[in-house]
Structure formats: structure tokens, C-alpha cells
Chains A and B, each alone.
Chain A
């Protein structure tokens, strides 16, 4: 332990004679001992104090609130698991879960696949590679609300660019907000537009840790670039892929701003909730209907859903390479 080593060294230092000096140096020893022992805790304490106040306390308090009929006007009655049983039977809640999962799958699967191919392309010898890398990252620095506004106009029924383009191929104008499938696609493309480049850069980082010798050897054995991509790059990238899958799961399950803006700012997610996500459901229950207990229960179920989804996705991603 470096701590003991340090103390030993300090003691070995020659101490000038004289009782007065001696007392001074032992005070200094005490101070430096205190400094070594206490300062580390002092340095980590701002984070942990703030976390206790604004992270841990709200989490536990959410659990407490979720066990009550907790209304705005002071009426607070302990109801046990009633909020949970009610939620599990609430078709509107399950509809929001279905929407969240649907948009998540629709957005994440193509997103990560395209990001993989994109990263592989960005990893090649190429002129203007930095400019290309920067340009795929531009969407990430755009605000989520801005993305929502822009894409909502792109998907507008009457003068939207998407319908105009589709019209050039003879497709009738689609009212994107109106159906489940079309609203899911529209929102999924917003998510993809913003995050594909980010994931590509993360994959690129992982690819650069793979030794070039492996590719060299594979080339000599006659493996085509495509084969090398699937048998070398993807398996060796698995830890990075798992990381992006987990991050995407958390992001996807807490999706909020895009569908809110897509619905014109409301929390209902369309006339019959065709694109209401769980996060929107929570905000609606708590801050539009002021049913805090119900919203708190939904928040805890969301957390459990994220855990389950993260585990399932982890298992799927881990299994991917093995079947090959």
C-alpha cells in the first residue's frame, strides 16, 4: 500500500533537533495523516451527497409514493400494491409499452446494423475521412427537440418532403401521425438519424483495437472482405456491440421528446395513443392527471422493463457470434 510507504518515508526524513521544532513537526505529521485519511472522502463526497439527495432519495421515494393513492390535493392513502395491479390491467399502459418496444425494435435493429457497416467503411483508406466522420456525427449535436420539429415537417401530410418524394413514385400521401405503423416508422427514423453516426464512431473505436495482422493472415488465406467483416470484425467487436445495445435499450425505453414533438406537444401520443411511449404515459399521469401514485408505479415498472430488456438483449447479442 502506497499509504504506508509514504508514512515510512516521511518518518525517515531528518528532523532538526530541539523540543519546539519537534512538537511542530509532530503536528505536521498529524495534519498530513489526517490529510491522507480524510481528503479522499472529502473529494468524493460532493458526488455522493448530491446522488443521495437527487438520485437515491427520489428512487426510494418513488417506491413509497407508488404504494399510495397519492393525489395532488394532499389526499395520501396507503393502498399497497393496488397501483401496480391496476397498471397491469390498464390497456392504455400496455399500449404505451407496446409502442415503446415497437419503436425501439424498429429503430435499434437497423440502426446498429447500418452503424456497423458505416464504421467499417469509415475505417478504410479514404480521402477526406475526417470530414466524413464529422458529418455522420452532426445529427448528434442537433437538439432532440429540433430533430422532432424538423422531421415532423418532413413527414407533414400536405407539404412534407417525404410525401412529395413518395408521390413522385405514385404513392398516395400518408398521414404519418394517424396509424401505428406509420407513426412508429416516422419516430424510429428520427431516432436513427440522430444516433446511427454516434454508434458508428463507437464501433470504429472498437475496430481500431483489432490487430491488422489478423486481416493480413485472412487475406492470404483467401477470405473476401465481406467474409472477414463477418468472421473477424463482428465477433471481435462483440463487447462494443453489447455496450451499444445496452445504451440503446436505456435510451429507447425512455424515449420522450421525439414522440411529444411529433404529436404537436401533447402527452397522449396521437388521438388513440398510437405513439404514446411509457415516459409520456408517466408524465401524463403525474402532471396532467395529477395521479402521482399511479405514475410512480409506472416508473418502477419501466425500470423493471429496462432491466429485463437489457438482460434479454445482452443474451441475444452474446449468442449472436456463437451460432456462427
Chain B
């Protein structure tokens, strides 16, 4: 993947270093130092959080602050799950349920709509697609929070998981992404050929489109997963303290135990494990997805 970018003039230079003084693609020492420094700055806060999570409270208040792991991790994790009023375990279970169902639904809805917008002809298609793009510009979360809350009260759904899940299924970005992806991955001729063979639209979607757009679905899944696992404002409002998502549980920990750094940090570290796993396994795809999306926008 990285070597692709060396094609063209860059590749030639790579073999025989150019004598040209203004070679913009040569990394200077200053560049390398800057990049190394940035990488350390990016990783340090997470590293530090993990270190604190393995320590005791006495260590935290030592000067200089500790920079190497201690032996209290197991004890601290136990304390997180036993922490009164934080309901950390419930928070994790709730977050898993919410994140999994939103991700599945968003990917399904976006793949269906993306196929229709990219490959099918129907009246009003352009207007509808434009409206999807426009809604991406509206901060629905903050704008609609009052009526959404009233709606959930009317339905008797406050403190339920469906109240958290349903508003997040509206995802214009997903539809837009899958439209772009389908356009590029599924040639018109392929759809027409399947049609001539007598396949119904639903069958074409399932047998032709879904296999072809799977990488796009993967990117959308990862992004939706990260977004929903991180969601804070709406769960904070609609859920009670005894039935939180993991982010709301962290806030409860932080509020109640703010003097107990190691406990709060152990909880925070636990809450980002799924995100770090996604990153370790799909880091390349995250970069690829971001870069694909950006070039076209």
C-alpha cells in the first residue's frame, strides 16, 4: 500500500537520489524529529492512563509522576466493577447491545439506500440524494434533543435501550458513503446483465451488490462502531444512572471518585479496550476509509 505512492517521479528518485536541491519528497531530519515528537504526543496520554490504572493512589501523588507500570491493575479493575452507583458492568453490556444493533442497522439501511441511489433509476432520485447530503450538515443530536426526549417520555421509553438506539439509525453519512462506494464498485452493466437474466432487484442487491461493496460496509461498520461507542450526550439524558452506557458510567465514576484517580483511570482504560482492538485489527482500513472519503468529497 505504501509503495504505490512511490510510482511516478518519486520512484525514479528513490532508486537514484535526486541531485535537485528542492526535492519536496525527501524527508529532512527536522521532518523526522517533528513526526517522532507528534507520535509520542499522540500515544503518551493513553500510555499514561494505562500506567496510572496499574498503580495505587499513593503512587499517583508522588513527584515526579510515575511513568512505569505498577502491580495494582487487577485490584483496580475489581474496584471499578464494585464501585457503588457507577454500574460499570451494566454500562458495558448496554454499550455492547446499543453499538452492535446500531452498527448492524445503519450498515443495512445504508447499503440498501446506497444501491438504490447509485444503480437504480427512479423519479426524484437526485432530489432525495441531495436532501440526504444536506441533512449531514445539521447537528440533529443537539438540535432535536428536547423533542426527542418528549417523544420518549410519551412512548414510555425513557431509560430503555431502544430510546438510545433509534435516533442513531438516522445516518445520512452512511447513505452517502455507500452511494459513493456502490457507484465505484458496481458497474451499471453488471446490474443490467443480472436484470436481463431475470433477477429481481432484491436478488441483485443480495447476490451482486452486497458481495461487491463488502469493503465499504466494513469501513462504515468500523466508523459507526467508534461513533456510537463514544456517544455521550443522548444516553446521558435518556438513561437513568442505574442503567447507563459505558461513557455515562465513566462520568459517574469520575464524578463520585474523582479523588480516586486509579479507579477512574482503570475504568476509563477498560472503556477504550474495544476501540483499541478495532484500531489494532482495522487501523489500515480506518486510514483507507478516511482517505477514500476525503478524496471524493
Q: Are B148 and A54 in contact (CB under 8 A)?
A: yes
* A202 sits at the interface (CB 8 A): yes
Stretch at the interface among B35-43, B76-84, B213-221: B35-43
Interface size on B, residues (CB 8 A): 114
Complex partner residue of B275 from A124, A142, A153, A225, CB under 8 angstroms: A142
Using CB atoms, name the residue of chain B closest to A251. Answer: B139
C-alpha gap A151/B226 in the complex (Å): 20
Q: Contacts A143-B275, A149-B254, A219-B22 hold; do A164 and B196 have CB atoms under 8 A apart?
A: no
C-alpha gap A264/B265 in the complex (Å): 14
Q: Are A193 and B45 in contact (CB under 8 A)?
A: yes
* A84 sits at the interface (CB 8 A): no
Q: Are A265 and B237 in contact (CB under 8 A)?
A: no
Q: Mark A112-146, 1 if CB is under 8 A from B, else 0.
A: 00000110011111100110111111111111111
Using CB atoms, name the residue of chain A closest to B60. Answer: A159
Least Cβ–Cβ distance between A28 and chain B, in angstroms: 9
Q: Mark A138-173, 1 if CB is under 8 A from B, else 0.
A: 111111111101111110001101001000000000
Which of B227-279 touch A at CB < 8 Å? 229-230, 232-233, 237, 247, 250-252, 254-255, 258, 261, 264-265, 268, 271-272, 275-276, 278-279
Q: Are B22 and A41 in contact (CB under 8 A)?
A: no
Q: Are B170 and A2 in contact (CB under 8 A)?
A: no
* B74 sits at the interface (CB 8 A): no
Which A residues touch B23, using CB under 8 A? 219, 225
Which A residues touch B9, using CB under 8 A? 212-213, 215-216
Which A residues touch B146, using CB under 8 A? 58, 61-62, 65, 282, 286, 292, 295-296, 299
Complex partner residue of B196 from A6, A193, A310, CB under 8 angstroms: A6
C-alpha gap A305/B151 in the complex (Å): 26
* B156 sits at the interface (CB 8 A): no
Q: Contacts A47-B132, A143-B230 hold; do A153 and B265 have CB atoms under 8 A apart?
A: yes
* B186 sits at the interface (CB 8 A): no
Q: Contacts A54-B144, A205-B290, A302-B142 hold; do A2 and B188 have CB atoms under 8 A apart?
A: yes
If A121-B27, A138-B279 are given as contacts, then 8 extra A-B residue pairs at C-beta distance below 8 Å, sorted by A number, are: A10-B196, A43-B205, A138-B42, A138-B43, A151-B45, A158-B61, A279-B233, A306-B139
- Chosen A-B contacts, 25 in total, with CB atoms closer than 8 Å, are A39-B201, A40-B121, A44-B128, A54-B167, A55-B170, A59-B143, A61-B147, A65-B146, A65-B150, A118-B35, A125-B27, A130-B284, A133-B287, A137-B283, A150-B45, A150-B49, A193-B42, A204-B291, A212-B25, A219-B24, A257-B247, A264-B254, A264-B255, A265-B254, A283-B145
Q: What is the interface of chain B, defined by CB distance below 8 A to chain A?
A: 1-2, 5-6, 8-10, 13-14, 20-27, 31-32, 34-35, 38-39, 41-43, 45-46, 48-49, 52, 60-61, 63-65, 108-110, 112-113, 115-117, 120-122, 125, 128, 132, 135, 137-151, 166-167, 169-170, 172, 175, 188, 192, 195-196, 198, 200-202, 205, 226, 229-230, 232-233, 237, 247, 250-252, 254-255, 258, 261, 264-265, 268, 271-272, 275-276, 278-279, 283-284, 286-287, 290-292, 294-295, 297
